[in-house]
Amino acid sequence: MKWAFWVLGLSTSASFAVEITAEKAGAVIHFAIEGKSICDYQMEPGKVPEGVAESFAHGAHLHPIYSPSGKLVTGNHQPDHPWQRGVWIGWTKTEFGDSHPDFWNMGKDGKITAEVRFEKLEKLWNGSAGGFVSRHVFLDHSHTPDEKVLNETWEVAVSQKTLDGTLANIIDLTSTQTCAGEKPLKLPKYHYGGLGVRGNPLWNPVDAVTMLTSEGHDRKAGDNTKAKWVHLGGEVDGSPTGIVVLIHPSNFRFPQPLRLNPKNPQLCVAPSQDGDWAIKPGKPYVSKYRLLVFDGKPDAKWIEAQWQSYAK
């Protein structure tokens, strides 16, 4: 019944939107509108680009993600950081009993000491807001057998709407993480780890990507600051496009700290920047984000208005 009420709420609020189709093809769920791709959810590991080690093939992420005009806004398994993949969630610096599983840099140095793995697709639907409910598991491979650290549920809804005159693809993501056993996952202070977004490979040159935060900061000034939202974008086929992450006010340590990579088109919403904390048994860690994907340059007033709507 939990999923039924959640879906009903979304369907009612988005009843005027165009039909979204959700099609499962092997290990991928494709979301589209009138045959035009919006995004994919990669469940189990898929192919990696030529020259990238198979140790970096992971699932449990969103990629590719497109703007309403069909421009790609995400990158996947790039040579500089092959463990980065579209939109994903992972923790970097951790303490789990006597081990330190890294769920961010999975496959680095040819080793997979920890992993976020897709476990099960609970529900999939089409409609004015298509979507899915899935389960992931955070595994610590330093033990024999592997030890489960966290269970995670993703609730995702995908839609397309005109918001105050701007057409946008909308991806609502709610992650719920719970301890798999009686041990907490301790998260010491660290500058990244959490929700990650990797931008289009065309934005890999340092001068080809722009970032903007709710506080008016660019990528340099905005690194290690807090924000309600953050935009990542650049030019594709000669015109600007991008993706903005709206951060829900119910999230832990809101407004949440940001890691804006100074060399790559990559950002992270990183609550561990504010100091040591932990995900404890019996206390689910819930984080909510809305991804708005649109064509054109970012308009801070428009984005702020969309955040205000999302926050309410």
At residue 310, what are phi and psi to the nearest 5 degrees? -65, -40
CATH of the domain at 270: 2.70.98
What does the pLDDT read at residue 6? 38
Whose tokens are 């469940």? That residue is 43
Q: pLDDT (tens digit, 9 = 90+) per residue, 58-96?
A: 899 999 999 999 999 999 988 888 788 999 999 999 999
What does the pLDDT read at residue 54? 80
For residues 160-189, give the mean pLDDT: 98
Structure-token pair, residue 150: 């966290």
Name the band, by pLDDT with cuts 50, 70 and 90, for residue 49: confident
**Per-residue pLDDT for 3 more than 80?**
no
**Per-residue pLDDT for 15 more than 80?**
no
For residues 138-160, give the mean pLDDT: 95
Task: Name the 3-class secondary structure at 83.
Answer: strand
**Distance, CA of 34 to CA of 14 (rounded, Å):** 17
What does the pLDDT read at residue 9? 38
Q: pLDDT (tens digit, 9 = 90+) per residue, 93-130?
A: 999 999 999 999 977 776 778 999 999 999 999 999 99
What does the pLDDT read at residue 1? 37
Total domain count, the chain: 1
For residues 174-195, give the mean pLDDT: 98
- The H helix count followed by the E strand count for the chain is 3, 21
**Distance, CA of 43 to CA of 131 (rounded, Å):** 14
What does the pLDDT read at residue 12? 35
**Distance, CA of 55 to CA of 207 (rounded, Å):** 30
- Host domain of residue 235: 2-311
At residue 152, what are phi and psi to the nearest 5 degrees? -130, 140
Whose tokens are 């970097």? That residue is 92
**Per-residue pLDDT for 169 more than 60?**
yes
**Per-residue pLDDT for 265 more than 70?**
yes
